[in-house]
Every structure is written in structure tokens, then in C-alpha cells.
Structure 1
């Protein structure tokens, strides 16, 4: 039986329910919410059905993660769950895939924040890559200073980011009911326009927006009463974010003219501006940028905590497990943000929209690998009597696995090839760490010191 990674001492458990809830909602509602209408507009009503499938799939997966977190409330999230079920090697594959999804997500999120920043300051449109990197390293610095500071930023930005979404929901209801002049009527729902292939394509896109429901499981070592707090935050946060997305993003995609929506770099701002004027549109752009930056703050936290948990368990280099006096994994943050920097600079010739689409799809695909593995882990742990049998968990795990496979199918050939290549890049790392373990190297204590 696989042993479990060490837990953090109680003194470092600084995240309560509200911070965990803000982490879940804040990481889910980020740049995706404010850029997805551009990508979804060409699909029309297929996008609505895609949202419904994605929200249902995400809720099933959230239930799986919540249940596993209640039984195994340890740092590492997907890695910890899969190692409990299958052992070190499969756990490493999941961990490597998920870590890739996190730092590639930070590239996409920073680009999303840049798109709204450029909407506010058009004169800076010529240097989107450098603006994005400025955001990445600013929040890396914040995360390197204080865990409590990270939690405070996450809570504040989560509250602020809901304001433009609320405005879009209100405007959607007003336009749909005829209270506001609907110069762009809702396109008709026609059966011949709906196809499984189009829905599958939108499922992969909308999943990008739902990625993050597992966020509270990663820094479990810093969560007070983790076995109770994490499941509650995971389920409540996933449901809340899903409902917000369904109404707000669908309204923008359907009520903004398709040609304008598909070319917009700030669709929420353009939607508000079309009906309420340029002043409110600029205000929405400010809050949309805050939303993306809040998500970036939360995901930078995850990109540091994940490799630290892996290093403590001996499958990442031991020096990445070392933390500062405040308990912050500074080294892991620096390595992860450096990888984000390389990815952004390597694609800086792309437009903002293209750069966002490429990094978002790669990140989503890498996340789906972890989701699929955790769904199978839940079924296996029940079969081995490691956790109690539950019809609800079995049904959720099966549904989550099927949904994950469908999302992989909908991603398309290029992202799958990228994802496979990034997964294979972890093979030499695993072989090197296995050799080091055989030589008695790379083991760290819970405090991050080498032993």
C-alpha cells in the first residue's frame, strides 16, 4: 500500500471555508468567463448545450474530488488521490499532467488579463506578451511573500469579479424580456443547426472555464479542518460558478451580433457598451481585468503548492520542497513562473486571441487527464475497500470519466499532440528521480528539510 505524503503542521493552516470557496470560484471565474463568448459565438445554440453538459460533468467531477478530499485531505489533490489508488508511477503521471495544466493556464490567464488591459490602454497593444509577463511576475512576488496575503487578495478579487458578471446577467434578462431595445435578437433555435460534433467542440472550450473546481484540494496542508472544509467549498463553488457562467456567457454570445462577438478581444465590455454606452463598458473592462488577475493569483498559488507536495514525496527534486520562513515554496514558484515565461515568449508572435486559445486548450487537455485518472481512482478505491461503497460516488465517477473522454475527443488533433508531447517530457524526470531514490536521495521531511 502506498504511503501518504506528510501533512503540514496545524500552525500553517491559514485557509478557512471562505478563503477556500474564494479559491474555487476565483480560479474558475477568471479570464475564461470574459473571453469565451468570442470563441463560442460561431456555435450559436450548440454552445448552450455545451455549457449544460460541461456544468453537469464538472459537478460530477467535483463530487468525486470532494469525496476523495474527505477521505484523503492531503496536499497534492489529484496526485495524492491517484497515488493512494495506483501507487507512485501513475501518481507521477497525473501530477506531471496537472502541473503542466496549471502553469500553461497561467499563461492563458495572464493573456486574458492583457486583452482587457489593452482595451483600456490601446496604445500598449503592441506589447501584449510583456504585459502578460508583468502580471505573472507581480503575482509570483505576492505569492512568495505571504500565504495570508494571497488569501486576502483572492477573497477581494473574487467579490469584485462577480460585479461585471452580474451586470451581464441583468442586461441579458432585460434584453431578452424586451425592456431594453434588442437590436440584436436571439437567433432562433433550429434542430438542423444542432450537432453532436459542435457540442463536443464547445464542451472542450467551456471546460476551460470550469477548470479549477479542484483548487481547494491542492493546498490541503494549509486548510483548517480540511476533511470538512474542502468538500463544502468544492461543491458549492462549482455549482455557483456554473450557474453564473451559463447565464452570463450565453447571454453575451447570443445577444451580441455573431460577427462582432467572434472578433472581439473584450466581448463583455462590447456587450455592455452596445446597450449601456462606452462608460459602463470601460468599467466592465476594469473589473474583467481584476477577475483575470484574481484567477492568476489563485493559480500561481497552485503552481507552487503542487510541485512542493511532489518534492516532499520524493518524485520531484528535493530542493523544490524547501520553503521560506513563512512556509512559502519560493523555489517552486520561481521554476513554474519561468516556464510560463518561456511559453509566452515562444508564442509572442501570435495575436492575443490565438495565444489565449492555444494555451487554454493545452491547459484544459492536461487537466482532463487528471480528472479522468481521479474518476477511475474513485472507482478503484471503492473496489479495494479503501473507501466505503457509494452508489452516488460510483455514478459520479463513471459520468466524470465519460465526460473527460468526450472532452479529450472534442479538443482536436493539435492540442492532443501537444498534450501527449508534454506528458512524455515527464518520463526522463521520473526515471531520474527513481534512480535517485534508489541511491537514497531526494527525501524531505514535512518541514521541507532534506533528510
Structure 2
């Protein structure tokens, strides 16, 4: 097979060649694609999130509901865009196709930050459940546990896409069933006294709602997973949308019910300081610690599954951008197993650095990482919603006239939701996110210079006026 098409449907001038072996192309069917979404969304983050939200009070349940509506709107948007642009890269491909090369690069860079920084957050939560058994409570002990949790998914991903998909499907089933059990059975054991105050933070209602909503966004991070790995999916025009919506709906049900169940089964004061809230809930429901140990084991499996899926995504985004000449060439090379090994290894190393730094210098590593990742997550979401709105207004891509009003409403809600989440993340997270985003500009300059290009890329049209590719001014 030749070079895969760029998001615009035509190869980009001077883009590096990157063939995808048969093993890596069209390997994931609808069940595996849906599992990739669920596995990427449901990680150990949800297993620790109720404790983080408890300090803001039950207002966070309302925040969960609002964020769920926004997440479903974004899942629909990814499905619509996936049908129009069924190529790997997801938000990067959509922004590049609609707005050009530089916005595309910024989206790839922002999502790349989200992937490896977010993996650090998953690893931190994962350590809490491993320590349910090991009790390695020193900083060095936690870092060692996290290193093991990051190494296993990296090795699975390096071994090939088929192994990654099988591992993802198994871990998704093993974690989804017990989570659903707590979400449903836990509702029958709730006590109203456990819920605590509505606004436990003591500040304004709006501030508590915004901050808790920003934390919840990270729990839904991953709904775009299947769109990023589009060329690994069978029949992507159809399955990207279905997998995105099915996966998000499944996660929403479990998230909403389990959060309410945890709040109702663990006393508020105990929940705020918990490092394994689901285990504490099961212990309170049935007595003893055996059931809590079972849930801790499921959380460990869940974390490995989430890290496995995100390790793929941390490499897929720069891989797609590298093919278009927007990331260093090394990220666009595939191994014999059909995977971008450089992206996997570099992303894992960066995750380790973020994890270690936050353990050594942050009082609340999990919340710090979550708020930063929220900012870098919603930037690609904002551009995706904007791309959808752009195609609906210009109709330069296929648009259903009958569904136009509904699609416009969903795109506008998606845009408003992402802007609200940036604001809710807080000044510190926004500042750090902006700095990390701007650091990508020198990388863009380096990549452009290495291609001998200057000035913006121009769209090249054939005799009929149809866009067939891009070209840029080059140095003589």
C-alpha cells in the first residue's frame, strides 16, 4: 500500500512516506473500537475521582450531569467528522482539514500533551489501588509502582496492534462489570447522611460547580480515541461514530450511577481522604475487607487497560501528524509489528517525568494533573466542534440537510461546553497549559525548516476546481 491520504483527501507535498502493514490497518472491529473508547475513558481516574470531587460536595453530581451532556455532544461531533474524514489523527485531522496546517499542528501538540500528561494522572490513581495491597507509601515506593504500571502497557503496544486490541477488550470487560455492579447494587445501600454538604468547599456555588466539572472532564477524556486511530478501524466511516457514541453512553451510565453510589455509601469525611473509594464503598456495603480487595484488583486491571489504550493514542497522534510533515519524521516510522515505536517510547518517558515531578513537588498530584490535562484536552475538542460548525455553515463537506438544524445546535453546545471547561480549570492550569502549548511553536518552526519550507501552505486545485493537495513556498 502507498502513502495514506492526508486529511484533505490528498497527499501533502514532501510528506514522509509511511506504509501501514496489513496487521495494523483495519484490524479493530466495532467491539474492539468501542472497547478502545471505553478502555480509554474508564481508567483508574474514575476509581479515585469520587474522593477528589467529595471535597467540593454533592454539587459535583450536578457537574457530572452537565459534563455528560457535553461529552455526548462531542461524541456525536466526532462521529459526524469521522464519516467525512475517515483518516487517523482525529481532532488533528479535523482541524487541519478545516483550518489549515498550523491549527492542525497545535491540535496535535495539545492532544499529545494530554495523552502523556493524562497517563501520569492515571498512573497516580493506579498506585493508590496497588497500595491497597502493598502499602508502599513512601514517595520512592509510589514512583516504583507507577514505573511498573507504565512499562507493561508500553511493552504490549510495542508488540503490535492486534495484541493491543485483544488486551484492551479483555481489560475493558474485566473492569466494566464490577464497576456496573457497584453502580447498581450500591444504590440499595445508600444512606442520606453520607452525602455531606452540597457545597463543601465553602466558596461560591458557581466556583464549586466549575472546578468539579473541569475535574470530571478528564474522566471523559478518551471519547475521541477511536477517531484518532481511524485507520486501524474496520469500516471507519460507519464504526467511528457508532463506537464513539456507544462507548460514551456506556461510560456515562456507569459514571453517574457509581458516583452517586459512592457518595451514598462512604461517609463524606472518610471519602475526602480516601485513596481507594470504590474499595471503601464495598467494605461499607458488605462489611470486612475482602470485597474491597476484589474491587482494588479490578481497579488495577482497569488502570492497565486505560494506560494500554492511552499509550496507543500517545503515539497515534504524532504518527498522523508526522505523515503530514507536521511532527519530526521519527514519529512517523512504523516497526515490523506495524506500530509507531518512537512515539510509544517517547510518550512513556514523558509520562514518567510528569508522574515523578508531581509526586516529588505537588501536594495533590492527581488533581494538579487532572486540571492541566483538562485544558490541553478541551483545546482539540474546541477545534473539532469548530470544524463541524465550519463544514455545516460552508457545506464544503457532505452535510445532511434534514439534520442541519440539530447538527448546528450540537456543534454550538460543544463549543460552549469546551470554553466553559477551560474557564473552570482555573488560572494556574490555564497558565501552565498555555505555556506548554506555546512550547510547541519552536517545534513547528523546526519541522517546517527541516522540510525547506517557508510561508503558509496553499491549496492546489485540479482543472475542475477540486482541491487535490497542498503546496508551499520552498527555498531554492
When the two structures are superposed, what TM-score results if normalisation uses the length of structure 2?
0.87
CA distance in structure 1 between the aligned counterparts of 2:198 and 2:332, rounded to whole angstroms: 54
CA contact (8 A) 2:375 2:422 kept: yes
Q: Would you say 1:287 and 2:298 are equivalent positions? A: yes
Give the aligned partner of residue 438 of structure 1: 452
Give the aligned partner of residue 160 of structure 1: 174
Give the aligned partner of residue 407 of structure 2: 393
CA contact (8 A) 1:47 1:250 kept: no
| Aligned ranges 1:31-46 → 2 under 5 Å | 31-46=44-59
Secondary structure at the residue paired with 2:175?
A: helix
| Pair 397,228 (structure 1): closer, same or farther in 2 beyond 3 Å | same
CA distance in structure 2 between the aligned counterparts of 1:420 and 1:188, rounded to whole angstroms: 34
Per-residue CA distance 1:293-352 (angstroms, 9 max, x = gap): 11010000101111111111101111221111121111111111111122122223257x
CA contact (8 A) 1:204 1:407 kept: yes
CA distance in structure 2 between the aligned counterparts of 1:309 and 1:183, rounded to whole angstroms: 50
Secondary structure at the residue paired with 1:327?
A: coil
Moved more, 164-173 or 337-346: 164-173
Secondary structure at the residue paired with 1:349?
A: helix
The CA deviation at 1:289 is: 1.2
Which of the residues 84, 93, 97 maps onto 1:84? 97
Which of the residues 255, 258, 277 maps onto 1:245? 255
CA contact (8 A) 1:101 1:367 kept: yes
CA contact (8 A) 2:265 2:285 kept: no
Secondary structure at the residue paired with 1:153?
A: helix
CA distance in structure 2 between the aligned counterparts of 1:323 and 1:9, rounded to whole angstroms: 9
CA distance in structure 2 between the aligned counterparts of 1:287 and 1:324, rounded to whole angstroms: 32
Give the aligned partner of residue 462 of structure 2: none
Per-residue CA distance 1:208-251 (angstroms, 9 max, x = gap): 11111110001111111011111100011111101110010122
Per-residue CA distance 1:24-78 (angstroms, 9 max, x = gap): 0111111121011111112332111101100000001111111000110100000
Q: Would you say 1:113 and 2:123 are equivalent positions? A: no
Select the structure that is richer in helix.
1
Give the aligned partner of residue 381 of structure 2: 371
When the two structures are superposed, what TM-score results if normalisation uses the length of structure 1?
0.91
Q: Would you say 1:137 and 2:151 are equivalent positions? A: yes
| Pair 95,5 (structure 1): closer, same or farther in 2 beyond 3 Å | farther
Secondary structure at the residue paired with 1:348?
A: helix
CA distance in structure 2 between the aligned counterparts of 1:337 and 1:68, rounded to whole angstroms: 29
The two structures, once aligned, show a CA RMSD in angstroms of: 2.2
Give the aligned partner of residue 68 of structure 2: 55
CA distance in structure 1 between the aligned counterparts of 2:424 and 2:364, rounded to whole angstroms: 18
CA distance in structure 1 between the aligned counterparts of 2:322 and 2:30, rounded to whole angstroms: 27
CA contact (8 A) 1:375 1:401 kept: yes
Moved more, 1-10 or 340-349: 1-10
Give the aligned partner of residue 279 of structure 2: 269
The CA deviation at 1:365 is: 1.2
Which of the residues 422, 427, 430 maps onto 1:413? 427
Is there any run of 5+ residues in structure 1 with no aligned partner, and where?
A: 177-181, 441-451
Is there any run of 5+ residues in structure 2 with no aligned partner, and where?
A: 1-5, 12-18, 455-476
CA distance in structure 1 between the aligned counterparts of 2:7 and 2:49, rounded to whole angstroms: 41
Which of the residues 153, 161, 165 maps onto 1:151? 165
| Pair 347,196 (structure 1): closer, same or farther in 2 beyond 3 Å | closer
Which of the residues 278, 282, 293 maps onto 2:289? 278
CA contact (8 A) 1:8 1:221 kept: no
| Pair 193,105 (structure 1): closer, same or farther in 2 beyond 3 Å | closer
CA distance in structure 2 between the aligned counterparts of 1:439 and 1:384, rounded to whole angstroms: 30
CA distance in structure 2 between the aligned counterparts of 1:63 and 1:290, rounded to whole angstroms: 29
| Aligned ranges 1:177-216 → 2 under 5 Å | 182=191, 184-187=193-196, 195-216=205-226
Which of the residues 205, 214, 226 maps onto 2:236? 226
The CA deviation at 1:20 is: 0.5
- Name the count of aligned residue pairs: 433
Give the aligned partner of residue 16 of structure 2: none
Per-residue CA distance 1:159-189 (angstroms, 9 max, x = gap): 011133123223422114xxxxx49444587
Moved more, 277-286 or 117-126: 117-126
Give the aligned partner of residue 23 of structure 1: 36
The CA deviation at 1:268 is: 0.6
CA distance in structure 1 between the aligned counterparts of 2:7 and 2:179, rounded to whole angstroms: 44
CA contact (8 A) 1:120 1:286 kept: no
CA contact (8 A) 1:40 1:253 kept: no
CA contact (8 A) 1:44 1:253 kept: no
Q: Would you say 1:316 and 2:330 are equivalent positions? A: no
Secondary structure at the residue paired with 1:73?
A: coil
Give the aligned partner of residue 458 of structure 2: none
Superposition misfits of 4+ residues, deviation over 6 angstroms: none
Give the aligned partner of residue 461 of structure 2: none
